[in-house]
């Protein structure tokens, strides 16, 4: 493991928790109790006459059939068979039949917190939703300027109930979002008399007004009134009305507040302590409704407190819907549980029907249960739900943060279009729970968040964050986890407050946070809690930005996001300037291999590491070698231990992609000069040294997967073969006898990877051909070449081939006989047009790669690696990059702080003894909000060790005199020089550059398609046409709009003219004009096209018939069509 020198001053009493806990703990809950909970809910399933019942219980998993690696390789789902105990009971005879029933294969979570579904790795992200409960709101009526109040009761499942006070000061109720009616109608329907209403709510004039206006004399009339409003078309009877109301709010099958909803209702209304929420009913009660109405009336009267039914005093206030006390997380376990519940309820209907149709004597639990709805529900969830996402595995940090993502979108959540600014905004209750920095740019900003480093989820789904308890002004190491609601009741000091050895605050007054207030200074006696760590408020990716405290939030956001786009490089290098989060993030990402137990390394190879444990057992670890990640980057593991080395449990045995010595290593430490250079780094362009290209410093490996299958067609079976018609031997040189490319072959676009032929339809034979066939026998069947070729613009080396065949008993889709996968690896050196970035949102595209000898160099002759423009710093306010550059130089050069007369300088007073000197190349940690300070950085720069000539190359201000590599002359001003950590991002020019000569056309308009993926052309749009017209370039414009676009006849004739060397013919009529005519004719308009002399022009000339023949003779595919889409239609 790497040793990193930390400048942190604050001792953290709590270690960073398991960063994947949000996934693994939730799934563990699902397996141990979540599934049993759902089975208990649904049981017993009774028939319509209640003569029979089926009870499901005791879910358990059998052994897993296949390993994770095998599932990925063979496109299978990593799952275990789920069995439940089913008991069928005949209530009339008392007979019980019990069976163990198979409920389908249940997808399991891997150790890395992911699921393997059909061979692809997916992750289920957590959903941030409004918690079930009771919410009070206030609005101001625009006309009367009165303050109006309302309340909503939102259940987990069932109808909404809303009460409000309108501008005429009457209290109304809306049931299931239908028409408003007086609240007293609902109370009377529940059996309340006018006297009882007066007795309970007599304190409120507006309630008495509402009662006086209510014309319903008693319970029966009130019930009928409600029925008429809810079911306007049905004839009302007392029984049906009673049944309707009970079904809406008082039956557990139809209405459920859930445990969390019951907890929130009880807490808000003072019904109980909230701790007994699990024992109380999930349906509404009369007491709940009365307490809600009383709370609303007291809120409208402006009262501050109310005594609830449980005798508890509660504050009377409106609710903030964006507060984290009112938003909860549906984690993976709950999301899957909900889907399982949906599948079981569909199955329940089938079971009921079968109970009525089957013979009672012959019924067994197995014959009643149909598992298809359950299996289909789970498959639908993992395959198509917004919460189940394709794992972002570009690098280990990307996969780790993806698993910690919180989304407000999805079923039951917000929609991107309707989400307001308030919902997206940072809220004070996010502190320590959701990162205020890391969120996507674009339409999802604020709707996607990431869990803070120390946050955890409680059983109700609320996010908790830890705080150190303060007792009598002394900060203890006792840690309490608080929800946002609980935190509102306390005064919390920040982690940076200085303490003495006993834990007392050194200052008399300290900065604290309180509910709804700005940060303020208070006496230490008032403080209840203190933050556990300065990085408590940020997420993992944000906590990996050094000097975050000196960066503007907008740029820090970009920095956090761009770290997740870094591609793994050929040789990983941990940052010189880190934050101390690197090792923990690498370990928890699951991409490094850890020793399971303490022992001695017995054997090390590129593929395996074997450890002999102290308890006598042996464990062999298999390393991933050059595997393709979901995003096409290279996942490769390398051993970092030696034979005979002793390792402790949890010790890193092998590095993965983007890790070095067990630390996250996303980029490279490069010598940077911050200066303009001949205008070549204008507007964020970057100048690089040729050394980085030649020495493969920023080279990455990218692996593409190409797949082809041989199917049965109506005309016969397709065949994978080397025998391809009309293909020369040179093209087939790299194919083996089966027709599959050999491993190690260098391929480029257009090369055949797998040879395949497909039967062609037999054409009608002429009498002569029939005679010849009769004489010479059956001619070889005609086949066409449908081989798998390297796509346009791609090249590389074949590193792997996998063949799956029905003959080898491989599991293939119906109709597929053989499947071949070819993996092509490409080594991409850094080049002009690639995107680089630092960790502070400082990004740019390489504008020029200079020879090493032309790069500016330091006084000792060292050329810099990269030149960034000075203009990229001031207005973007990400000064962290400058601090990082200076501290990078300090770490690279090493330092030695000289004591004067035995006392160290003032700026070094807080540095511990081990930080007074360091060797060159020392790796440093400057944790966020607790790192190197400005005066310390200046002092360290002045104390750096000299180079081999005894000179300090960089001055105390962090600047050096640079010399122009071309002339050898010094630049006029000193330049900031140091080491910055630079990432190579996934936006590579090779993936973006694109050109087309001929290619596919849209079927309807006959215009070229657009986009690199479709091998499309460049759109010459309306404004470009205006530019041509302005220049009077008539002929250029004419050919752009005709033969280069959709003049079908003209483009074939032009091709023919070019091939034969003739003059280019006149353009014809564009296809889009013909489409316009057809559109007009479809509107029943008779449209004629007239020439200048008034003669009618026939649109479809005889040339059209010859067109395909001409193209075929020339052997061109100019008119290759693609399926049309709606967007292709004109207008």
Instruction: Specify if 737 maps to a domain.
Output: yes
Q: Is the domain of 237 the same as that of 294?
A: yes
Q: Is 129 helix (H, G, I), strand (E, B) or coil?
A: strand
Strand order in the sheet with 5-6: 5-6, 924-925, 577-578
Tokens of 421: 């600014």
| Residue 1092 buriedness (CB in 10 A; 0-12 / 13-18 / 19+) | exposed
- ∠ CA 585-591-593, nearest 5°, is 105
The contacts of residue 193 (CB under 8 Å, 6+ apart) are none
Q: What is the DSSP letter of 30?
A: I
Per-residue exposure over 518-540, b if at least 16 CB sit within 10 Å of its own CB, e if not: eeeeeebeebbbbbbbbbbbbbb
Instruction: Specify if 57 maps to a domain.
Output: yes
Q: Is the domain of 145 the same as that of 265?
A: yes
Q: How far apart are CA 323 and CA 137, in angstroms?
A: 13
Phi/psi region, residue 394 (left: phi>0; alpha: psi -120 to 50; beta: rest), is: alpha
CB 751 within 8 A of CB 692: no
CB 841 within 8 A of CB 555: yes
Q: Is the domain of 155 the same as that of 290?
A: yes
So what's the pLDDT on residue 1125?
46
Domain boundary pick from 510, 532, 554: 532
Q: Is the domain of 369 the same as that of 290?
A: no
Q: Is the domain of 298 the same as that of 199?
A: yes
Q: How far apart are CA 372 and CA 252, in angstroms?
A: 26
Q: Is 977 helix (H, G, I), strand (E, B) or coil?
A: strand
Q: How far apart are CA 138 and CA 147, in angstroms?
A: 7
**Which CATH number goes with the domain that contains 229?**
3.90.1110.10
Angle between helices 205-213 and 194-201 (to 10 degrees): 160
CB 292 within 8 A of CB 153: yes
Torsion of CA 1105, 1109, 1111, 1114, to 10 degrees: -150
Sign of CA dihedral 1123, 1124, 1126, 1127: positive
Q: Is the domain of 96 the same as that of 47?
A: yes
Q: Is the domain of 217 the same as that of 160?
A: yes
Q: Is the domain of 143 the same as that of 284?
A: yes
The contacts of residue 845 (CB under 8 Å, 6+ apart) are 684, 685, 686, 833, 834, 835, 836
Q: Is the domain of 123 the same as that of 220?
A: no
CB 130 within 8 A of CB 321: yes
Domain boundary pick from 770, 799, 828: 828
Instruction: List the chain residues with pLDDT less than 70.
Output: 1-2, 273-279, 762-765, 777-781, 1100-1131
Q: Is 807 helix (H, G, I), strand (E, B) or coil?
A: helix
R_g (Cα) of the chain, nearest Å? 37
CB 744 within 8 A of CB 798: yes
Cβ count near 1023 (within 10 Å): 7
What pairing do the DSSP bridges indicate for beta strands 95-107 and 719-720? Answer: unpaired
Q: Which residues pair with 977 in a beta bridge?
A: 673
- State the distance between the two ends of the chain, measured CA to CA, in whole angstroms: 64
Range of 797's domain? 700-779+786-828
Q: How far apart are CA 789 and CA 432, in angstroms?
A: 52
Residue at token pair 């300027």 = 145
| Alpha helices, DSSP H, located in 519-670 | 553-563, 582-589
Closest C-alpha to 797, from 847, 834, 746, 760: 746
CB 796 within 8 A of CB 826: yes
**Which CATH number goes with the domain that contains 392?**
3.90.1100.10
Instruction: Specify if 362 maps to a domain.
Output: yes
Instruction: Specify if 351 maps to a domain.
Output: yes
What pairing do the DSSP bridges indicate for beta strands 5-6 and 924-925? Answer: parallel
Tokens of 1131: 């207008």
- ∠ CA 1056-1061-1063, nearest 5°, is 80
| Residue 921 buriedness (CB in 10 A; 0-12 / 13-18 / 19+) | exposed
So what's the pLDDT on residue 1015?
87
So what's the pLDDT on residue 2?
59
CB 171 within 8 A of CB 216: no
Q: Which residues pair with 120 in a beta bridge?
A: 117
Instruction: Specify if 371 maps to a domain.
Output: yes
Q: How far apart are CA 621 and CA 602, in angstroms?
A: 12
**Which CATH number goes with the domain that contains 1090?**
3.90.1800.10
Q: How far apart are CA 1063 and CA 1056, in angstroms?
A: 10
Q: Is the domain of 343 the same as that of 253?
A: no
Residue at token pair 């990193």 = 4
Q: Is the domain of 357 the same as that of 301?
A: no
Domain boundary pick from 532, 564, 581: 532
* Domains: count for the chain: 5
Q: How far apart are CA 172 and CA 163, in angstroms?
A: 6
Q: Is 246 helix (H, G, I), strand (E, B) or coil?
A: helix
Cβ count near 69 (within 10 Å): 13
Instruction: Specify if 685 maps to a domain.
Output: no
Q: Is the domain of 197 the same as that of 317?
A: yes
Distances (CA, A) of 1099 to 33, 325, 1091, 1095, 1128: 73, 70, 12, 12, 21
Instruction: Specify if 407 maps to a domain.
Output: no
Instruction: Specify if 844 maps to a domain.
Output: no
> How many residues does the structure list for the chain?
1131
Q: Which residues pair with 327 in a beta bridge?
A: 130
Phi/psi region, residue 658 (left: phi>0; alpha: psi -120 to 50; beta: rest), is: left
**Which CATH number goes with the domain that contains 501?**
2.30.150.10
So what's the pLDDT on residue 1124?
44
């Amino acid at each position: 493991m790497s040793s990193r020198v930390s400048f942190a001053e604050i001792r953290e009493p709590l270690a960073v928790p398991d960063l994947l806990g949000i996934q693994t703990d939730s799934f563990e809950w699902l397996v141990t109790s979540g599934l049993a909970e759902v089975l208990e809910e649904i049981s017993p399933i009774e028939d319509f006459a209640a003569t029979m019942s089926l009870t499901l219980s005791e879910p358990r998993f059998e052994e897993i059939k296949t390993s994770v690696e095998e599932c990925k390789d063979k496109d299978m789902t990593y799952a275990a068979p789920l069995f439940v105990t089913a008991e069928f009971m005949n209530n009339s005879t008392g007979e019980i039949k019990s069976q163990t029933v198979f409920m389908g294969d249940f997808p399991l979570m891997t150790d890395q917190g992911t699921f393997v579904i059909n061979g692809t790795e997916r992750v289920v992200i957590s959903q941030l939703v409004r918690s079930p409960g009771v919410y009070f709101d206030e609005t101001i009526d625009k006309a009367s300027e009165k303050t109006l109040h309302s309340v909503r009761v939102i259940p987990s499942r069932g109808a909404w109930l809303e009460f409000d006070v309108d501008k005429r000061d009457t209290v109304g109720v809306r049931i299931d979002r239908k028409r408003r009616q007086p609240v007293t109608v609902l109370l009377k329907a529940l059996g309340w008399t006018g006297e009882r209403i007066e007795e309970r709510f007599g304190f409120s004039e507006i309630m008495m007004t509402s009662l006086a206006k209510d014309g319903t004399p008693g319970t029966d009339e009130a019930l009928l009134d409600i029925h008429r409003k809810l079911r306007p078309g049905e004839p009302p009877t007392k029984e049906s009305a009673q049944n309707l109301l009970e079904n809406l709010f008082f039956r557990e099958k139809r209405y459920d507040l859930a445990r969390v909803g019951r907890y929130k209702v009880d807490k808000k209304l003072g019904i109980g302590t909230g701790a007994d929420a699990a024992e109380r009913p999930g349906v509404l009660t009369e007491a709940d409704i009365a307490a809600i109405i009383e709370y609303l009336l007291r809120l409208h009267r402006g009262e501050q407190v109310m005594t609830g039914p449980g005798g508890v005093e509660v504050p009377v206030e409106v609710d903030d819907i964006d507060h984290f006390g009112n938003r909860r997380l549906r984690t993976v376990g709950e999301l899957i549980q909900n889907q399982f519940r949906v599948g079981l309820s569909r199955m329940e209907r089938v079971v009921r029907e079968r109970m009525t149709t089957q013979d009672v004597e012959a019924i067994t639990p197995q014959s009643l249960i149909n598992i298809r709805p359950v299996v289909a529900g789970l498959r639908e969830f993992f395959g198509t739900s917004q919460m189940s996402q394709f794992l972002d595995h570009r690098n280990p940090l990307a996969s780790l943060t993806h698993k910690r993502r919180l989304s407000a979108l999805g079923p039951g959540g917000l929609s991107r279009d309707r989400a307001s600014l308030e919902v997206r905004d940072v809220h004070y209750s996010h502190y320590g729970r959701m990162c205020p920095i890391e969120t996507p740019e674009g339409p999802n900003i604020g709707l996607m968040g990431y869990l803070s480093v120390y946050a955890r989820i409680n059983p109700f789904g609320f996010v908790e964050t830890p705080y150190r308890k303060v007792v009598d002004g002394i900060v203890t190491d006792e840690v309490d986890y608080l929800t946002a609601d609980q935190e509102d009741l306390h005064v919390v000091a920040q982690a940076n407050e200085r303490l003495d050895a006993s834990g007392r605050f050194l200052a008399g007054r300290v900065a604290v946070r309180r509910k709804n207030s700005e940060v303020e200074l208070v006496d230490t006696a008032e403080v209840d809690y203190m933050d556990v760590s300065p990085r408590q408020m940020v997420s993992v990716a944000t906590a990996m930005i050094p000097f975050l405290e000196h960066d503007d939030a907008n740029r820090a956001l970009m920095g956090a996001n761009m770290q997740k786009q870094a591609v793994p490089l050929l040789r990983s290098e941990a940052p010189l300037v880190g934050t101390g989060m690197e090792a923990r993030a690498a370990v928890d990402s699951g991409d490094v291999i850890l020793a399971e137990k303490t022992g001695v390394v017995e054997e090390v190879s590129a593929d395996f590491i074997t450890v002999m444990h102290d308890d006598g057992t042996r464990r062999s670890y298999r390393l991933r070698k050059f595997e393709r990640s979901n995003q096409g980057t290279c996942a490769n593991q390398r051993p970092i231990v030696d034979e005979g080395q002793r390792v402790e449990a949890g010790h890193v045995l092998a590095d993965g992609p983007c890790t070095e010595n067990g630390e996250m290593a996303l980029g490279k430490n490069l010598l940077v000069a911050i200066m303009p250079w001949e205008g070549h780094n204008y507007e964020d362009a970057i100048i690089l040294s040729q050394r980085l290209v030649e020495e493969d410093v920023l080279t990455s490996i990218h692996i593409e997967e190409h797949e082809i299958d041989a199917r049965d067609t109506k005309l016969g079976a397709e065949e994978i073969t080397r025998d391809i018609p009309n293909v020369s031997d040179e093209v087939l040189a790299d194919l083996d006898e089966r027709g599959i490319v050999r491993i190690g072959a260098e391929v480029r676009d257009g090369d055949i990877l797998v040879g395949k032929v497909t039967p062609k339809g037999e054409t009608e034979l002429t009498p002569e051909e029939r005679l010849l066939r009769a004489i010479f026998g059956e001619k070889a069947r005609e086949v066409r070449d449908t081989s798998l070729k390297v796509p346009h613009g791609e090249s590389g080396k074949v590193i792997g081939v996998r063949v799956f065949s029905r003959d080898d008993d491989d599991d293939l889709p119906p109709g597929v006989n053989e499947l071949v996968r070819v993996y092509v690896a490409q080594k991409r050196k850094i080049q002009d047009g690639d995107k680089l970035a630092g960790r502070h949102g400082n990004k740019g595209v390489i504008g020029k790669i200079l020879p090493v000898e032309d790069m500016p160099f330091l006084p000792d002759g060292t050329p810099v690696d990269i030149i960034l423009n000075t203009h990229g710093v001031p207005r973007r306010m990400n000064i962290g990059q400058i601090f990082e550059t200076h501290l990078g130089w300090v770490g690279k050069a090493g330092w030695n702080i000289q004591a004067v007369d035995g006392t160290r300088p003032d700026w070094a007073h807080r540095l511990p003894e081990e930080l007074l000197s360091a060797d060159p190349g020392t790796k440093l940690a400057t944790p966020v909000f607790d790192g190197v300070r400005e005066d310390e950085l200046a002092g360290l720069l002045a104390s750096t060790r000299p180079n081999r000539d005894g000179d300090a190359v960089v001055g105390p201000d962090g600047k050096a005199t640079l010399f122009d590599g071309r002339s050898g002359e010094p630049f006029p001003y000193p330049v900031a020089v140091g080491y910055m950590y630079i990432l190579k991002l996934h936006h590579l020019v090779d993936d973006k550059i694109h050109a087309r000569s001929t290619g596919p056309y849209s079927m309807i308009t006959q215009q070229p398609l657009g986009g690199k993926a479709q091998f499309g052309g460049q759109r010459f749009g309306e404004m470009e046409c205006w530019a041509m017209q302005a220049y009077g370039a008539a002929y250029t414009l004419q050919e752009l709009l005709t033969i280069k676009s959709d003049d079908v006849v003209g483009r074939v004739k032009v091709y023919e003219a070019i091939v034969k060397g003739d003059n280019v013919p006149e353009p014809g009529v564009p296809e889009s004009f013909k489409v316009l005519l057809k559109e007009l004719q479809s509107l029943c308009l008779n449209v004629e096209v007239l020439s200048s002399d008034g003669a009618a022009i026939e649109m479809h000339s005889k040339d059209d018939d010859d067109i395909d023949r001409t193209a075929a003779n020339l052997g061109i595919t100019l008119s290759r069509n693609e399926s049309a889409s709606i967007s292709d239609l004109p207008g």
